[in-house]
Structure 1
Amino acid sequence: MAKLRVLVLAGVLGAVLFTASPALAEPVRTAAVTMTVAHTSALVPVQTQPPGPVLDPAQTDKANSQKTKNKLIAGLLAVVLLAIVIYGRKMRSKKAKGS
């Protein structure tokens, strides 16, 4: 039973560390937007800028790193809480066997 607990703990810790790795994060790429305008009259203005917001790569990288940091913190807290639960059950089972 102890081996199973260690394997589960190692699996959860490994999954958290490998899924939230900043090295695996891909940079956000902006998609080129093309727009065709049907000229039904001469009064239709032609857009010179693509519609939508322009994303700054520095801000997206900062946001991605912050998100990764938050995921690592949440994963670490989950592992700590799991360890507390396993330890508590172990202590409870020892008391039950002693009685």
Structure 2
Amino acid sequence: MPKRSRLGQLAGLLIAGLVVCAPAAQAAAPSAIPAVSPVITQAAAVHEVLSQAPPGPVLDPAETDKANSQETKNKVIAGIIAVVLLGLVILGRRARSKKKKS
């Protein structure tokens, strides 16, 4: 019995120590980060603007519509095949259960 009470006291002290130390650790963290001068920030922004890549290739709307219609057609075909396969699975399970009962 005495070990449990000491263990409980130790756990309580550990939790209390964490509660007391947590705000101090949070307050110390921002002071560790050095301040960045505005000149460096502006130079970095100018460099980013100059180093941007030109826009990508221009897409033809006719080709895009053709590709979208082909993709839609493929999805419809895949959906029909999935429904047919699901029907086969259901019929097969029903037939198997009827054989098992008899």
TM-score (norm 1): 0.48
- Which has the larger helix fraction? 2
Higher relative contact order (CA 8 A, sep 6+): 1
Q: Name which one, 1 or 2, has greater alpha-carbon Rg.
A: 2
